[in-house]
Amino acid sequence: MVDLNHLAATEARNPATAGADSMTVLDFLTTMNQEDHKVAPAVAKALPAIAQAVELVVAAIERGGRLVYAGAGTSGRLGLLDAAECPPTFDTPPGLIVGLIAGGEAAMTQAVEGAEDSPALAEGQLDGIGLGPADVLVGIAASGRTPFVIGALAHARRLGAATVSIACNPGAEVSRHADVAIEVDNGPEVLTGSTRLKAGTSQKLILNMLSTASMVRLGKVYGNLMVDVRPTNQKLLARAVSIVRAATGCTQRAAERALAQSGQRAKTAIVMLAADVDAEAAERRLAAAGGFVRDALSEAAPKAAPKAAPKAACHTAPPAAAAGPPPAPAA
């Protein structure tokens, strides 16, 4: 018999919603919202572990490795989502951030029964992508005991890859298979055992932190601007123009012209305008600076007094090491 007094937090009953089926819609939504407010503070307690995980991710990518997510159900879908959103946001190359889900691609839209119970399936998927010692594997399991995720972490360690676990129960089993264990206790779900709710929300917050902070550390951001955004549609092209203007204080026409000359690379366009150089020279500066705009511009300080014509198009102050990019000009 299951001991109901020692259920994991993700499986325990929540007394706040014990009468959910008799609540008014507004009362139920109010209670649900109150429960959701507990998620961010719970994640905050795990920030030191999340920071350690970011360092592992950055180190892996810097040595030529990849960030690989592995999970089942909601956990796997969230990993796939984060992996899919990085290329347009940060211009990461295909395959740098990989999402694996128990049951394969079919499991993105429908449950694949039994897939999460097989460690062997996880090993097969990792071997299929050629996981190796340069990579870092992040195993995501709300319960903290999903066999697919445990199998993935154990296999990754055997291959010499760095490992991170994310679980929503204290003392989770997956934590014993990871170099860095992230554990978040959100308390019982609004619907007993429905980990797509608070557990899923906390996992999304953590994955946001892992990928975003890693990209910041890798030079994909200038100030708080996504300077490596890939303008693959009209919305993102407009965002690239806005980013260049915010970073340099230039006119819209100047930003559009620099983007066109740089092959629609906002990072290159910013250095072109701020340093008063052409696209080729800007690319050289960025390469020498490891892709960091701030460092590329620090080389430009001695020639921060551009000619009169460019100055009229782009009012850029000499880049200050601590000041960050100036605010966007008024529309």
Phi-psi region at 103: left, alpha or beta (left = phi > 0; alpha = psi -120 to 50):
left
pLDDT band at 109 (very low <50, low <70, confident <90, very high): confident
Which pair of tokens denotes residue 146?
């999903």
Q: How far is it, in rounded angstroms, from Cα 127 to Cα 148? A: 14
Q: What is the pLDDT of residues 195-234, one digit of tens each?
A: 999 999 999 999 999 999 999 999 999 999 999 998 989 9
Largest distance between two CA atoms of the chain: 82
Region of 290 (left: φ > 0; alpha: ψ -120 to 50; beta: rest) is left
Q: Alpha carbon 239 to chain centroid distance?
A: 19
Residue 309 CB neighbour total at 10 angstroms: 8
The mean pLDDT of the chain is 89
**Which residues, in sequence order, are CB contacts of 83 under 8 Å at separation 6+?**
67, 69, 97, 98, 99
Q: Could you list the active site residues?
A: 85, 116
1 confidence band (pLDDT: 50, 70, 90)? very low
| pLDDT at residue 300 in the model | 55
Residue 19 has pLDDT above 90, yes or no: yes
pLDDT given for residue 317 in this prediction: 39
- Is 111 or 92 the better-scoring residue by pLDDT? 92
pLDDT surpassing 60 at residue 105? yes
| pLDDT score for 8 | 78
pLDDT of residue 306: 36
pLDDT score for 7: 58
Sign of CA dihedral 228, 209, 162, 156: negative
Tell me: the pLDDT tens digits for 291-319? 999 999 996 544 433 333 333 345 443 34
| Alpha helices for 4-46 (secondary structure H) | 25-36, 39-44
Whose tokens are 């920071």? That residue is 51
Residue 131 has pLDDT above 80, yes or no: yes
- Tell how far CA 179 is from the center of its chain: 19
DSSP 136: E
pLDDT given at position 65: 98
- Domains of the chain from N-terminus onward: 15-217 (3.40.50.10490), 234-313 (1.10.8.1080)
pLDDT at 116: 87
Question: For 141-146, what is the mean pLDDT?
Answer: 95
Q: What share of the chain in percent tops pLDDT 90?
A: 81
Per-residue confidence (pLDDT) for residue 216, from 0 to 100? 97
Segment 73-87 mean pLDDT: 95
